[in-house]
């Protein structure tokens, strides 16, 4: 009995030293150590090993909502996925906050867009100055399009690869490959998850293409308010003739708006894609002045972090695109 009591005492002390989150619980047990039942000990031990298991989990950070969907799809529950920024932020004007740095310090890995749109995250990463943080650049193998807009400088790329289907698939494979190197025990799972996720998007795209197989949309001309849809439109052979924002996230001035209206009238632009989640009141003026047909797209970076976000919003965008292409074909008598 005496040996058992010594063992109990030792175990309680050990708990006190090692389990910070269970500290108060262990102290109570130390005071009442004689009363500890073997059942309680077993329970504590289980809690301890569960906590250790959780502590061993990698924490992978993300910067923009679509990356939450991608990483969740690849890793499932094998790692913690931690957004750098609280949900509800607008990535077109976000400035880093102290909390972001605190969260960055909890991350082992962070997945970044790194071609624009998450520059705020790159600033936080720089400020953190952590040489043990692994950075996955999701776009590293994606062929990039140049940015469009009257005031866009040379060499600037279109950062919205998360609005394209093929680009999404490529990024998910890149994330799975990098995660497989970081966590080789789960490499097989990550690659299988990536393949299953990619298949969903290939099917989605195939379905949209099949819907368009009987119509002729050659010569379809579109304008977009925001330069976010170049990748998805390119996959369907649709050229963007004009981007209304003079630069990324910048509203056009009155004179720039007038120029756009003239351009739409002169060049016979068929439809205008505008943004679901961004303020663009000037769209009504364009509609009124030109009679152009409007379609809404999702930029996929607004609202809550959800695992199914990209899937849901990609499907909506594809449906919208099919509708717009059918409308254009009907206008041109190509049905
Ligand atoms: Zn954007």
Per-residue pLDDT tens over the stretch 297-312: 999 999 999 999 999 9
Task: State the SS3 of the chain.
Answer: CHHHHHHHHHHHHHHHHHCCCCHHHHHHHHHCHHHCCHHHHHHHHHHHHHHHHHHHCCEEEECCHHHHHHHHHHHCCCCEEEECCCCCCCCCCCCCCHHHHHHHCCCCEEEECCCCCCHHHHHHHHHHCCCCCEEEECCCCCCCCECCCCCCCCCCECCCHHHCHHHHHHHHHHHHHHHHHHCHHHHHHHHHHHHHHHHHHHHHHHHHHHHCCCCCCCCCEEEECCCCCHHHHHHCCCEEEEECCCCCCCCCCHHHHHHHHHHHHHHCCCEEEEECCCCCCHHHHHHHHHCCEEEEECCCCCCCCCCCHHHHHHHHHHHHHHHHHHHHHHHCCCC
262 pLDDT above the threshold of 70: yes
Give 70 or 32, the one with higher predicted confidence: 70
* Co-location of 99 and 16 in the same domain: no
Query: Are 196 and 319 in the same domain?
Result: no
pLDDT tens digits, 213-252: 988 888 889 999 999 999 999 999 998 998 999 988 888 9
* Same domain flag for 263 and 190: no
Contact by Cβ (8 Å): 283, 294: yes
How far, in Å, from the CA of 309 to the mean position of ligand 1? 17
Residue 226 CA to ligand 1 centre (angstroms): 7
d(CA 79, ligand 1 centre) in Å: 28
Centre of ligand 1 from the C-alpha of residue 189, in Å: 32
Same-domain check for residues 75 and 158 = yes
- Looking at residue 195, which CATH number applies to its domain? 3.40.50.1980
Residues 164 and 84 reside in one and the same domain: yes
Distance 225 CA to ligand 1 centre (A): 10
Q: What percent of the chain is modeled with pLDDT above 70? A: 83
In this structure, the answer to whether residues 82 and 21 fall within a common structural domain is no
- Residue 202: which region, alpha, beta or left (left: phi > 0; alpha: psi -120 to 50)? alpha
Number of domains the chain is built from: 3
pLDDT tens sequence across 84-138? 999 999 998 899 999 999 999 999 999 999 999 999 999 999 999 999 999 999 9
Tell me, what's the pLDDT at 33? 37
Residue percentage of the chain with pLDDT more than 90: 68
The Cα-based distances of 55 to 16, 124, 144, 281, 297 in angstroms read: 17, 24, 38, 48, 40
Cα 18 to ligand 1 centroid, rounded to whole Å: 47
For residue 161, how far is its CA from the centre of ligand 1 (angstroms)?
10
Taking 90 as the threshold, does the pLDDT of residue 2 lie above it? no
Question: What CA–CA distance (Å, rounded) separates 60 from 133?
Answer: 10
Check whether residue 68 and residue 201 sit in a common domain: yes
Report the pLDDT value the prediction gives residue 204, as an integer from 0 to 100: 98
Distance (Å) from CA 327 to ligand 1 centroid: 26
Q: Please give the Cα distance from 57 to 30 (Å, whole number).
A: 30
Residues 66 and 199 in one domain: yes
The residue out of 189, 208, 227 marking a domain boundary is: 208
38 dihedral zone (left: phi>0; alpha: psi -120 to 50; beta): alpha
For residue 334 the two structure tokens come to 């190509």
Q: How far is the CA of 160 from the centre of ligand 1 (A)?
A: 6
Query: Cα of 240 to ligand 1 centre, how many Å?
Result: 16
pLDDT tier for residue 27 given thresholds of 50, 70 and 90: very low
Considering 190, 208, 226, which residue would you say is the last residue of a domain?
A: 208
Asked if 63 and 149 sit in the same domain, the reply is yes
| Host domain of residue 267 | 215-331
Does 19 have pLDDT greater than 70?
Answer: no
Instruction: Give residue 47's pLDDT.
Output: 58
Check whether residue 307 and residue 199 sit in a common domain.
no
Does residue 174 sit in the same domain as residue 228? Answer: no
Which residues are registered as beta bridge partners of 221? Answer: 239
Asked whether residue 78 falls in the same domain as residue 195, the answer is yes
Residue-wise pLDDT tens digits, 172-218: 999 999 999 999 999 999 999 999 999 999 999 999 999 999 888 88
pLDDT at 80 over 70: yes
Residue 46 has pLDDT above 70, yes or no: no
Domain boundary among 37, 56, 75: 56
Residue with more model confidence, 162 or 32: 162
Cα 117 to ligand 1 centroid, rounded to whole Å: 6
Q: Quick check: 16 pLDDT over 90?
A: no
pLDDT of residue 11: 43
- Is there a contact between 252 and 245 (Cβ–Cβ < 8 Å)? yes
CA of 13 relative to ligand 1 center, distance in Å: 55
């Amino acid at each position: 009995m005496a040996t058992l009591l010594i063992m109990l005492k030792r175990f309680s002390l050990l708990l006190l030293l090692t389990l910070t989150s269970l500290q108060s619980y262990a102290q109570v047990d130390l005071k009442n150590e004689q009363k500890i039942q073997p059942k309680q000990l077993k329970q504590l031990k289980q809690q301890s090993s569960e906590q250790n298991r959780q502590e061993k989990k990698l924490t992978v950070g993300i910067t923009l909502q679509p990356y939450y969907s991608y990483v969740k799809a690849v890793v499932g529950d094998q790692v913690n996925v931690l957004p750098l920024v609280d949900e509800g932020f607008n990535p077109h004007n976000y400035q880093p906050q102290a909390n972001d740095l605190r969260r960055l310090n909890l991350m082992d890995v962070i997945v970044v867009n790194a071609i624009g749109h998450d520059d705020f995250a790159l600033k936080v990463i720089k400020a953190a100055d952590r040489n043990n943080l692994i950075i996955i650049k999701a776009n590293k193998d994606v062929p990039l399009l140049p940015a469009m807009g009257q005031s866009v400088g040379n060499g600037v790329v279109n950062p919205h690869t998360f609005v394209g289907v093929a680009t999404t698939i490529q990024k998910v494979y890149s994330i799975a490959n990098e995660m497989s190197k970081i966590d080789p025990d789960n490499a097989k799972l990550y690659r299988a998850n990536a393949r299953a996720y990619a298949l969903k998007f290939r099917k989605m795209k195939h379905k949209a293409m099949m819907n368009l197989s009987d119509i002729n949309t050659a010569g379809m001309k579109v304008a977009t308010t925001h330069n976010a849809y170049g990748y998805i439109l390119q996959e369907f052979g649709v050229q963007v003739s004009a981007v209304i924002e003079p630069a990324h996230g910048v509203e056009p001035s009155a004179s720039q708006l007038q120029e756009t209206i003239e351009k739409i009238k002169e060049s016979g632009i068929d439809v205008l894609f505008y943004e679901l989640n961004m303020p663009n009141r000037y769209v009504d003026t364009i509609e009124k002045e030109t009679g152009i047909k409007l379609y809404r797209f999702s930029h996929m970076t607004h609202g809550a972090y959800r695992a199914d976000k990209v899937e849901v919003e990609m499907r909506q965008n594809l449906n919208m695109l099919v509708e717009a292409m059918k409308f254009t074909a009907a206008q041109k008598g190509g049905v």
